[in-house]
Amino acid sequence: MTDTLKSHEDSKDGHIRTSRVNGVMEMIIDRPSKLNGFTPKMFNELIDAYKFFEEDPKLRCAVVTAEGANFTAGLDLPKMSEHLSDDYLLAKDGDIDLFGLRAPYRKKPIIFAVKGICFTLGIELMLGADIVVAASNTRFAQIEVKRGLMPSCGATTRMVSRAGWGNAMRYLLTGDEFDAAAAQSFGFVQEVVDPGQERLRAMALAKQLCECAPLAIEAVIENARSSLTNGESVAHAAIGAAQRKLLNTQDFQEGVESFKQKRDAKFRGH
């Protein structure tokens, strides 16, 4: 993980730069000369960035962006091929999985701002996030079948669960491109904005999330994920205990006081 105050050079293997301002951590994919294609170095640095974000109590939301005109063309296959048979690409036991396919799961919210080319890995990363803002000129494609592979990181299930079998297979089986409007209609993208506005909008959403109660946000994410992984009845059964825990927090007391005093709440995550 390379801090944004350090070198901005596009090294041969690229890097993930980061910055941290007012509770928001920005993770910047930085290999524009190769369409931000992911190398093992970049993959490991993004894993490290997710872990840093999750463990730093001062950080409440993350935004993933990219240097240059494109989000990412996906994996740099010659550099990543030896890792494609891994059960979880380069992730070690105890790492926060970038795609949310296994525990330990991420608790804090992540927003993606995509643009230009967003192929294969880019789609799977954003499907593992919470909110996606896309520039209207974004081009999406899951082209693994054109390379003799299948998607490795959740597209085969998440595209089906969001878009339906037919819509998912239309693009998973052909590798054809689809645009931002289609991605939004499938539920892959939540907002489409003019090109150049995607990062600003994602940052605005991150600021809005930072003003909400962080423990409540974590509880929402946990319960929603439980519904997907364990079924709705399990998630429903857990609501009472989760709500009782929140009722005993200082944040809830602050929420009540701010309501009474007709002011904005100042949540501290306690």
- Alpha-carbon distance of 43 to 97, in angstroms, equals 11
Local structure of 54: helix, strand or coil: helix
Q: Are residues 22 and 154 in the same domain?
A: yes
Query: What residues make up the domain containing 250?
Result: 214-260
Answer yes or no: is pLDDT of 91 > 80: no
Q: Are residues 24 and 102 in the same domain?
A: yes
Q: Are residues 77 and 51 in the same domain?
A: yes
Q: Are residues 199 and 221 in the same domain?
A: no
Q: What is the dihedral of CA 260, 264, 269, 270, to 10 degrees?
A: -30
pTM: 0.92
Q: Are residues 139 and 234 in the same domain?
A: no
CATH code for the domain in which residue 219 is found:
1.10.12
Given a contact cutoff of 8 angstroms between Cβ atoms, the answer to whether 143 and 171 are in contact is no
In a domain, 265, yes or no: no
pLDDT in tens, 110-119: 999 999 999 9
Given a contact cutoff of 8 angstroms between Cβ atoms, the answer to whether 184 and 134 are in contact is yes
Q: Are residues 193 and 243 in the same domain?
A: no
Local structure of 153: helix, strand or coil: coil
- Alpha-carbon distance of 28 to 63, in angstroms, equals 8
- Alpha-carbon distance of 166 to 242, in angstroms, equals 37
Contacts of 21 (CB under 8 A, 6+ apart): none
Pick from 92-106, 150-164, 246-260: least confident: 92-106
In a domain, 15, yes or no: yes
Confidence of residue 269 (pLDDT cuts 50, 70, 90): confident
C-alpha 176 chain-centroid distance: 23
Q: Are residues 61 and 136 in the same domain?
A: yes
In a domain, 42, yes or no: yes
Q: Are residues 164 and 239 in the same domain?
A: no
Q: Are residues 95 and 226 in the same domain?
A: no
In a domain, 112, yes or no: yes
Q: Are residues 46 and 158 in the same domain?
A: yes
Give the CA angle between residues 100, 219, 113 to the nearest 5°.
50
Q: How many domains does the chain have?
A: 2
pLDDT in tens, 174-230: 999 999 999 999 999 999 999 999 999 999 999 999 999 999 999 999 999 999 999
In a domain, 266, yes or no: no
- Alpha-carbon distance of 178 to 192, in angstroms, equals 14
